[in-house]
Amino acid sequence: MKRISLTRHLVEEQRLNNTIPAELRLLIEVVARACKTISHAVGKGALGEVLGSAESENVQGEVQKKLDILSNEILLEANEWGGHLAAMASEEMETIHPIPNRYPMGEYLLLFDPLDGSSNIDVNVSIGTIFSVLKARDGMEAPTEQDFMQPGSKQVAAGYAVYGPQTMLVLTTGHGVNCFTLDREMGSWVLTQRNMQIPEDTQEFAINASNARHWHPPVTRYVNEMQEGATGPLGKDFNMRWIASMVADVHRILNRGGIFMYPADARDPGKPGKLRLMYEANPMSMIVEQAGGAATDGKQRMLDVQPTTLHQRVPVFLGSKNEVERVTRYHQE
């Protein structure tokens, strides 16, 4: 394949679909550059003295890793001077991060999980950065958290970087999903997969099965049916994968199909699952839908969920369309 750079892809996408104005192209290129820096830091591991805990907790009450904090800082510093953003929000920060007065404000809101899958950092398993882009309200003076409370269908772009054997960037601006591989020698993102498509059927599911005793009946029914295999109601055998790094699990599903589930369960009725809506479920759901898959919270289309708070959690069922529709149907019966 002829080497198409990220910049060339964005320019050609703008010519074709008029969906990437210059400010959005700058935003995407800045985020992609920040992901290169994060990849470099992650790749050093112990040699970079960035492994281990930071002896602090984030707003989720999760122990922060040094790389979590470093990745967050890399994204903040990369994005605050460009004039393309009105504000940012991150899993690692309790409140929104307005653009400092010394820089001009732009028309976009950027949300991100700077390093998702932190529990895997110290054991060298793939981790990633997830980001979501919304439009800010016109004529807004000082952005507030309320300005971020937009359903996922309002995203103008979404993407993730996965730091694995290869470092890859997966991106959608509403016209399909494209994947770029980092050429480490040149330091550039090269288009390696165009218009990724998730198979509508699958024989592979992803869930943390250690929580089985806490699942609600629709999830128990569905997983049992898959485990009954060819002699059961689904008439085929299933395989299971759980990397415990959403970016890695979603990347596998994007490439070969599958269904990813992080359901609410009986452990804590006040906690609807573990994953966060604004900077995990929504961007991944836009990507999955743009690749011909489906994503719901068990009851409704994920991208239709109306957010109420910045760090709210949501049950997640996403991946191969026919299986997501099945498990969602079970919730509605």
Q: How far is the CB of 211 from ligand P6P (least distance, A)?
A: 7
Q: How far is the CB of 285 from ligand P6P (least distance, A)?
A: 14
Nearest CB to ligand P6P, comparing residues 46 and 244? 244
Binding site residues, ligand P6P, CB under 6 A: 116-119, 208, 244-246, 262, 274-275
Q: How far is the CB of 121 from ligand P6P (least distance, A)?
A: 10
Give the DSSP per-residue string, 17-29: HS---HHHHHHHH
> Which tokens hold the place of 268?
């804590």
Q: How far is the CB of 262 from ligand P6P (least distance, A)?
A: 6
Nearest CB to ligand P6P, comparing residues 9 and 251? 251
Nearest CB to ligand P6P, comparing residues 125 and 140? 125
| Contact criterion met (CB below 8 Å) for 31 and 159 | yes
* Strand order across the 239-240 sheet: 239-240, 204-206, 259-262, 316-319, 294-296
Nearest CB to ligand P6P, comparing residues 13 and 116? 116
Nearest CB to ligand P6P, comparing residues 167 and 173? 167
How far is the C-alpha of 267 from the C-alpha of 288, rounded, in Å? 28
Q: How far is the CB of 272 from ligand P6P (least distance, A)?
A: 14
> Which tokens hold the place of 277?
């809506």
How far is the C-alpha of 67 from the C-alpha of 202, rounded, in Å? 34
> Which tokens hold the place of 103?
């820089």
Q: Are strands 157-163 and 127-135 parallel, antiparallel or unpaired?
A: antiparallel
Q: How far is the CB of 271 from ligand P6P (least distance, A)?
A: 12
The CB-nearest residue to ligand P6P is 246
How far is the C-alpha of 300 from the C-alpha of 282, rounded, in Å? 13
* Strand order across the 177-183 sheet: 97-98, 85-90, 108-116, 127-135, 157-163, 167-172, 177-183, 188-193
Q: How far is the CB of 29 from ligand P6P (least distance, A)?
A: 25
How far is the C-alpha of 142 from the C-alpha of 161, rounded, in Å? 30
How far is the C-alpha of 23 from the C-alpha of 142, rounded, in Å? 19
Nearest CB to ligand P6P, comparing residues 9 and 276? 276
Nearest CB to ligand P6P, comparing residues 99 and 264? 264
Distances from the Cα of 18 to the Cα of 22, 153, 160, angstroms:
10, 18, 22
Nearest CB to ligand P6P, comparing residues 106 and 164? 164
How far is the C-alpha of 164 from the C-alpha of 195, rounded, in Å? 21
Q: How far is the CB of 215 from ligand P6P (least distance, A)?
A: 13
